[in-house]
Amino acid sequence: MLKRIFLPLENSPYTLAAIKYACFISKRLNAKVTAGVFFDVEKRNKSLGILKTDTQIEWAKDVNKEVITEAEDTVKFLISTLKKNCVKNEVKFSIEKEIGQPSKNIYELSKYYDLIITGLKSDFRLMKKGFTSEYLKKMLSYSVTPVFAVPDHFWAVKNIIIAYDGSNSAARALQRFSHIANFRGHKIRLLMSSNNNVLAEENIRRAKEYLMAYGAKNFISEWTKKDILKLANSPYFDSADLIVLGIHSKKNIRDFFVGSVTETLIEEAQKPLFIGI
C-alpha cells in the first residue's frame, strides 16, 4: 500500500497539475505528500536557502539578488498552492526545509518514498525559456522509485490501460502499480502484445489473476500482434485516463527511450503515465 508520495515542485503548469494529482491519489489512499522546491541555477550546485516558516525564507549568503528576486515569489506561490490544495482535500503533507535544491537531489531523496509525482515536462531550471522532458528522462534513468508523470492539466483517473508484453520491465510495472493502486471502480484494459496466441492468453490470464488479488474487478483484455512499442499513436490509448507501462532499458541519457512507446507518450504530454522502474 502506498504511504509516502514525493512531489518535486517547480514553476510551471505541470507542477500545478502534479499537486492536484498528488492530492487526488493521497486522499484515496490516505497517504502523505512530501514536497520539495527544486531550482537549477547556472553555476550553482547547492540549495538557495532554508524555509523557516510558510512565508519566511532564509537565503544563503552567496545567492545574488537577481536569483532571490526570481525565486522568492515563486517559492511562496508554490508552497501556498500546495498548502491550499492539501488542506482543501484533507491530505497530510510536509515540505522539505531546503529551498531551491538542485534537481539532482530528487533522485537521492526519492529513495525513501513509494511514488514520485511530477510533470511530463516539468522543467527545474529557475529561469526557464520553455519546457523539456529531459528532467523526467533523467529521473527515470536514475531513480529507483516508480514515477507518476502527468500532463499540464488534471482529470480524475477512471479508465486505465496496462500495456503488457510479458517482459520483465512490463511485469515490474504491473506489480508496482498493483501494490499501490487500491482499485475502486476503475475500468482496466489489459493490452497484451505477442505473436503467439497461446502465450498471449496465458499471460493475460496470469496478469488478470495478479490484478484481481489486489482488488481489480472490471476488466477488458485483448491482445495484438503489433509490437507494443509501436502503438503510441494508435486508438488503443485514446480512452485512457492513465497508462501503465515499463521502461525497457536504462541506457545513457543520449539514447534513452529511443524508438519506445514511452518516449512518444512523454513527448506528446497528453496522458498521465505510471512508469514502473
Cα 44 to the chain's mean position, in Å? 26
Q: How far apart are CA 117 and CA 150, in angstroms?
A: 8
Q: How far apart are CA 22 and CA 122, in angstroms?
A: 15
Of 124, 39, 74, 56, the residue nearest 48 (C-alpha): 39
For the chain, give percent helix, strand, coil, nearest 5. 35, 25, 40
Q: How far apart are CA 75 and CA 85, in angstroms?
A: 16
Strand partners, 58: 50
Q: How far apart are CA 135 and CA 154, in angstroms?
A: 20
Q: How far apart are CA 175 and CA 43, in angstroms?
A: 40
Cα 182 to the chain's mean position, in Å? 17
Q: Is the dihedral of CA 133, 135, 137, 143 positive or negative?
A: negative
Of 256, 250, 237, 251, the residue nearest 276 (C-alpha): 250
3-state secondary structure of 38: strand
Please state, as a whole number, how many other Cβ atoms lie within 10 Å of the Cβ of residue 259. 12
All 3 cell numbers of residue 234?
A: 494508435
Please provide residue 4's backbone torsions phi and psi, each rounded to the nearest 5 degrees: -130, 120
Q: How far apart are CA 168 and CA 151, in angstroms?
A: 27
* pTM strictly above 0.95: no
Q: Please report, in angstroms and rounded to a whole number, the separation of the first and last CA atoms in the chain.
A: 17
Q: Tens of pLDDT along the chain (277 residues)?
A: 799 999 999 999 999 999 999 999 999 999 999 999 999 999 899 999 999 987 799 999 999 999 999 999 999 999 999 999 999 999 999 999 999 999 999 999 999 999 999 999 999 999 888 889 999 989 988 889 999 999 999 988 999 999 887 888 889 999 999 998 888 888 999 988 788 888 888 989 999 999 999 999 888 888 887 766 566 556 667 788 999 988 754 443 333 333 366 777 888 878 899 998 7
Domains and CATH numbers, the chain: 4-150 (3.40.50.620), 159-276 (3.40.50.620)
Q: Is the dihedral of CA 195, 201, 206, 207 positive or negative?
A: positive
Non-local (6+) Cβ contacts of 199 within 8 A are 166
Is the distance from CB of 116 to CB of 139 less than 8 angstroms?
A: yes
Q: How far apart are CA 226 and CA 236, in angstroms?
A: 12
Is the distance from CB of 262 to CB of 231 less than 8 angstroms?
A: no
